[in-house]
């Protein structure tokens, strides 16, 4: 019987890293519940959220303009059970629909970066709505990017409205599901209207929700007014959901120890999950993470440090314990250009997150503490992604892969190059793409030889040739009316 197997632990797809034992995860969960019940989480200036929490049995201690909410453990555990285990992420193009069920990993850019290395000039400038559109179109062309994480801020948009302009450009330039940060409840309402225009109204959106709202608590242990309102609005929306990404900085807005930061991250995430599930049981929730540690010598975020990958791996492990999809920010680098440092940092943390079993990993193209997007780094990250996927496939142990009959046929001292077994299986090996595996003589003939220049050239070629799914004229007109109302 030719039954596929793999060497190493697997989670439905090749190799996997188990960073914690079940007992470890139970201890982290118990510590989190203790923080949520005894220390509490501050909710800022959102009376509706306080009423929702209070009606479920949480203790609300009011203060000036905010309140401290303390959560009964039973309420938290119930809400975790109510959240869906599998999430269908629909796109504007049905063939781009993606199922997050723990069996596969996808990769995406990271947002909202505020600078870009201009692909033509090579200079750094503020990001624009056109950049958002171009990066979305690039991602639409690449099979390795299964979902679209809003990559950069549309800083040329009117103040306070750049999330809406981000949404306008992203929906129009990809057929894939979009993760987008609305910023506040007013922008969320406008983004919902734009999404409705694309899919044909609220009932159609309930069947085909083409975006998920990114929300972020304010560390340590605080949910701001905008965050609370976006959680409520997204959960109340039929088909809506949240991508909740705490961003603790260990040593500054969280404990310097990784375990302490993990507990605080978990408490912040679960506070938002509870709110979403109390608004609408079964609301889609992704356990995301953008936490890092502080480099206490420079007071900067230690993006690219191994601790960032370790925090991501811990998030993936907790998400598995709760049977929730996870989304991690593992590819950003602190380096200022696409160089050896970015390669080492992105490969190390990206592979760690993938082996930990993340459903989504973002940060492709992110430099300079996730402030700057670079097309060269993006394309090199995609190349790294392809190598990571090869690792995740593991080592198949079918009869054909074990090749005992071929080994016996060739025998000692023979060669396998011309054998049909080699022809049959050779495409299973990871191809190099941009990475160089040629002789020095062949490399000398490359134009350009520099891999960063080749990566930028490949991105420009894709942008010159790829067309996303078209947007009907009447849809474009409706969206222009929505934008005009906001800016008038």
pLDDT in tens, 313-364: 999 999 999 999 999 999 999 999 999 999 999 999 999 999 999 999 999 9
Confidence (pLDDT) at 251: 95
What's the token pair of residue 66?
Answer: 């905010």
What's the token pair of residue 23?
Answer: 């007992």
Which domains can be identified in the chain, with CATH numbers?
1-402+433-488 (3.20.20.480), 403-428 (no CATH)
pLDDT in tens, 451-481: 999 999 999 999 999 999 999 999 999 999 9
Asked if residue 35 has pLDDT above 60, the reply is yes
Please provide the average confidence, as pLDDT, over all residues in the chain. Answer: 94
124 vs 432, more confident: 124
Q: What's the whole-number mean pLDDT along residues 419-425?
A: 96
Asked if residue 6 has pLDDT above 80, the reply is no
- Percent of the chain, pLDDT > 90? 89
Q: What's the whole-number mean pLDDT along residues 250-259?
A: 96
What's the token pair of residue 84?
Answer: 């869906």
Coil, strand or helix at 160 = coil
Task: Supply the pTM of this predicted model.
Answer: 0.93
pLDDT in tens, 114-165: 999 998 888 999 999 999 999 999 999 999 999 999 999 999 999 999 999 9
Confidence (pLDDT) at 18: 87
Confidence (pLDDT) at 406: 97
- DSSP single-letter state for residue 39: I
Cis-peptide, bond into residue 203, ω within 30° of zero: no
Nearest to 167 by CA among 143, 193, 140: 193
Question: Containing H/E element for 49?
Answer: helix 47-55
Which residue spans within 372-464 are E strands per DSSP? 372-374
Helix axis angle, 258-279 to 22-34, nearest 10°: 70
The model's confidence at residue 65, banded by pLDDT at 50, 70 and 90, is confident
Q: How many residues in total does the chain contain? A: 488
Residues 6+ apart with CB under 8 A from 24: none
Is 331:377 a contact under the CB 8 Å cutoff? no
The model's confidence at residue 14, banded by pLDDT at 50, 70 and 90, is low
- DSSP single-letter state for residue 188: H
- CA dist 333 to 204, 273, 370, 456, Å? 39, 29, 7, 18
Exposed / middle / buried, residue 184 (Cβ in 10 Å: 0-12, 13-18, 19+): middle
Asked if residue 3 has pLDDT above 50, the reply is no
Q: What's the whole-number mean pLDDT along residues 266-291?
A: 97
Is 76:34 a contact under the CB 8 Å cutoff? no
Asked if residue 286 has pLDDT above 70, the reply is yes
Confidence (pLDDT) at 432: 87
How many C-alpha atoms does 262 have within 13 Å on its Cβ side? 25
- Give start and end residues of each alpha helix (H) in 180-257: 185-199, 202-207, 225-236
- Percent of the chain, pLDDT > 70? 97
Least reliable range by pLDDT among 192-201, 402-411, 425-434: 425-434
Antiparallel, parallel or unpaired: β 66-70 and 59-62:
antiparallel
């Amino acid at each position: 019987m030719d039954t596929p197997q793999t060497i190493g632990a697997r989670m439905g797809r090749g190799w996997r890293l188990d960073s914690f034992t079940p007992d470890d995860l139970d201890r982290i969960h118990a510590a989190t519940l203790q923080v949520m019940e005894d220390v509490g989480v501050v909710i800022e200036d959102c009376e509706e959220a306080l009423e929702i929490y209070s009606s479920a049995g949480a203790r609300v201690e009011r203060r000036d303009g905010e309140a401290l909410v303390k959560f009964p453990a039973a309420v938290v555990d119930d809400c975790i059970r109510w959240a869906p285990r599998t999430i269908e992420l629909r796109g504007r193009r049905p063939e781009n629909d993606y199922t997050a069920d723990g069996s596969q990993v996808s990769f995406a850019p990271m947002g909202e970066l505020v600078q870009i290395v201009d692909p033509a000039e090579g200079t750094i400038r503020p990001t624009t709505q056109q950049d958002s559109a171009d990066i979305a179109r690039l991602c639409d062309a690449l099979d390795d990017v299964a979902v679209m994480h809003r990559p950069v801020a549309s800083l040329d948009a009117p103040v306070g409205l750049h999330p809406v302009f981000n949404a306008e450009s992203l929906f129009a330039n990809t057929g894939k599901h979009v993760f987008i940060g609305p910023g506040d409840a007013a922008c969320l309402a406008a983004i919902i209207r734009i999404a409705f225009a694309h899919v044909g109204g609220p009932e159609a959106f309930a069947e085909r929700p083409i975006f998920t709202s990114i929300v972020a608590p304010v560390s340590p242990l605080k949910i701001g007014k905008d965050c609370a309102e976006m959680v409520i609005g997204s959960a109340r929306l039929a088909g809506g959901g949240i991508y909740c990404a705490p961003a603790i900085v260990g040593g500054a807005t969280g404990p310097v120890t990784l375990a302490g930061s993990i507990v605080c991250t978990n408490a912040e995430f679960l506070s938002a999950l509870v709110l979403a599930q109390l608004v609408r049981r079964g609301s889609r929730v992704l356990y995301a993470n953008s936490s890092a540690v502080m480099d206490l010598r420079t007071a900067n975020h230690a993006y690219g440090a191994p601790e960032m990958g370790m925090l991501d791996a811990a998030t993936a492990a907790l998400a598995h314990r709760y049977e929730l999809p996870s989304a991690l920010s593992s590819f950003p680098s602190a380096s200022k250009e696409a160089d050896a440092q970015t390669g080492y940092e992105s490969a190390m943390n990206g592979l760690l997150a993938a082996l930990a079993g993340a459903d989504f990993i973002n940060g492709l193209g992110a430099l300079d503490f996730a402030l700057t997007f670079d097309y060269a780094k993006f394309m090199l990250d995609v190349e790294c992604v392809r190598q990571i996927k090869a690792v995740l496939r593991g080592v198949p142990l079918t009869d054909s892969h074990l090749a005992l009959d071929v080994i016996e046929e060739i025998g000692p001292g023979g060669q396998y190059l011309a054998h049909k077994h080699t022809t049959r299986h050779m495409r299973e090996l990871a191809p190099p793409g941009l990475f160089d595996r040629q002789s020095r003589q062949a490399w000398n003939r490359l134009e350009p030889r520099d891999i960063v220049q080749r990566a930028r050239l490949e991105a420009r070629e894709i942008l010159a040739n790829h067309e996303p799914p078209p947007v009907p004229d009447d849809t474009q007109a409706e969206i222009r009316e929505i934008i005009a109302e906001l800016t008038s």
